Amino acid sequence: METPNNLILPALILIPFIAGFVCWLVDKLDKHLPRYIALIGMLLTLVLTVVLWQSGTYNYELGTQAPQWAAQFNLPWITTLGINIHLAVDGLSLLMVGLTALLGVLAVGCSWGEIQKNVGFFHLNLLWSLGGVIGVFLAIDMFLFFFFWEMMLVPIYFLIALWGHKGAEGKSRVYAATKFFIYTQVAGLIMLIGILGLVVVGFQLHGQISFNYDFLMSVAHTVEAKAPALAYAFMICMFIGFAVKLPVFPLHGWLPDAHAQAPTAGSVDLAGILIKTAAYGLLRFVIPFFPVASAQFADIAIILGLIGIFYGAWCAFQQTDMKRLLAYTSISHMGFVLLALYAGNILTFQGLMIMMLAHGLSSAALFIMCGQVYERLHTRDMRLMGGIRGQFQYLSFFLMFFVAALVGIPGLGNFIGEFLILMGSYDKFPVYTILAAVSLVFAGLYGLILIHKALFGTPNEEQKQHYANPLKDLNAREVVILLICALGLVWLGLFPQTFLDISNSSMAWIANSYIPVQEVVDVVQQIAVQPENVEMQ
């Protein structure tokens, strides 16, 4: 007998799918109807997430070898291959689903005036991509997880290819969409090799085919104990699958073009939600499945993250297109994600949780503002802006606020996340942590460059004709969208405990499953000498 909470899980995925399909069907009746249906669909998803938050138990006693789920939904699907529609939620996935639903509402809101052609089909793709992302966060059957992981790419491809802008460098939106699709598709296939490898080994060990989360985790632990090299290979396959989506340097090539050409809602989807699925995958699967291999790989991963931090900041300095600048800041900030993941303690994991939520809100808000600036000035080239602060009362304030959030000003969510990550990782990786802290200075610099070029100075001569009449400031709809993001960031900055309490048990379980890096050599030597005496958690 399924409880109401358990039935909410499939509803969270089905509502965006059904609402998106209805948007497409009613497109011919009225151009505005799909917008309202999409908005209602995402609001309903958000309400169900809040119900799940209020009624679930997210704090539990540790000591089990598997996470304890607040709600589960399990339905047999392809029984011959051991595949089930198995959905489950804990504190980690609940917060990610909540972020997706909230940014889904904002994505529908910010595209209200921007999208004028094929409105129904646009909302079909937008809502199906959001439904796919929610599926990724809830699926714990590995086949179902991979199904949603691949499925969410197709709607994003159409969003960029059909409704994208021409890039500042003249690259077409189809080029950007294709590049995004190829990168993520190849990475997904590499990840599939790792998943199928575990399934095959599980069949050899136990005589059954299963994609069950707990079953594959026990198989992965057995492989680590008996064949560490094979476990390391499987871990690398899964890491690459997630690293491209994060994106980790040097696998980031798709991101700047995809952002520059995507419509505003597409950029909100990409920056706010899609790259969070990669961090979630590393937290949910890679580290609990392969604790020893992950600890051995920690130095390489963190060095790649640090290169990404400085490379992203340096590239952000070079940009004249506002959207490309923000795209490179995402690459820079994701370096902190790797530091948090591979430092591997409860402080860094909790910091990562806050950072993902705060970065989702701040980057989504800034991409929404890029769309608002473009709507008014018909350019995203910061060399053609200058002096617009006097034209806009609200737009200037919000732009400065969200840039301040992005660079980690105290009192806002990003600061809390970065502070916890740096504090938690210093003990184990002092040199890496100091380098990461130094990079925050660069974040301040590119933030100031963006503010200075866009808002201050004098208007560019070529653009003066745009300023002959007063430009329209933000309307009520645009102010409400930005206020939601701003209030969320202030809440995260002043009352982070609200969210830390929800994710604490999940993160503590993952931290407990992760073997500290200084113990790895001893463990590997033990395994080599007496594999049967080593009990892997």
Block means of pLDDT (10 residues each) for the chain, 537 residues, are 72 91 83 86 92 78 69 85 88 91 89 76 90 92 92 88 66 82 89 91 87 88 86 91 85 81 83 87 90 88 89 85 85 86 88 91 89 79 74 82 87 89 87 86 82 76 62 81 92 90 85 61 50 45
What three-state secondary structure class fits 39?
helix
Q: Which residues pair with 139 in a beta bridge?
A: 87
* Residue 45 pLDDT: 92
Structural domain boundaries in the chain: 4-533
Handedness of CA 63, 64, 66, 67 (dihedral sign): negative
| 459, 462, 466, 468: CA torsion to nearest 10 | 70
* Residue 236 pLDDT: 92
Integer-rounded Cα radius of gyration of the chain: 23
Measure the CA–CA gap between 354 and 347, rounded to whole angstroms: 11
In contact, 284 and 139? CB cutoff 8 Å: no
> What single-letter DSSP state applies at residue 462?
G
Handedness of CA 169, 171, 177, 183 (dihedral sign): negative
* Residue 429 pLDDT: 85
Burial class (CB in 10 A: 0-12, 13-18, 19+), 152: buried
Burial class (CB in 10 A: 0-12, 13-18, 19+), 512: middle
Instruction: For residue 235, report the phi and psi dihedrals to the nearest 5 degrees.
Output: -60, -45
Measure the CA–CA gap between 430 and 443, rounded to whole angstroms: 20
* Residue 466 pLDDT: 60
Say whether pTM exceeds 0.75: yes
Handedness of CA 287, 288, 292, 293 (dihedral sign): negative
In contact, 481 and 474? CB cutoff 8 Å: no
In contact, 167 and 183? CB cutoff 8 Å: no
In contact, 265 and 112? CB cutoff 8 Å: no
User: Which secondary structure element, helix H or strand E, spans residue 171, and what is its range?
Assistant: none
Enter the tokens of residue 521.
């050599």
Packed helices 91-110 and 476-494: angle between N→C axes, nearest 10 degrees: 160
User: Half-sphere exposure (CA, 13 Å, Cβ side) for 223?
Assistant: 27
* Residue 518 pLDDT: 40
3-state per-residue secondary structure call for 53-104: HHHCCCCCCCCCCCCCCCEEEEEEEEHHHCEEEEEEECHHHHHHHHHHHHHH
* Residue 161 pLDDT: 86
Query: For residue 158, how far is the Cα from the chain centroid?
Result: 19
* Residue 530 pLDDT: 53
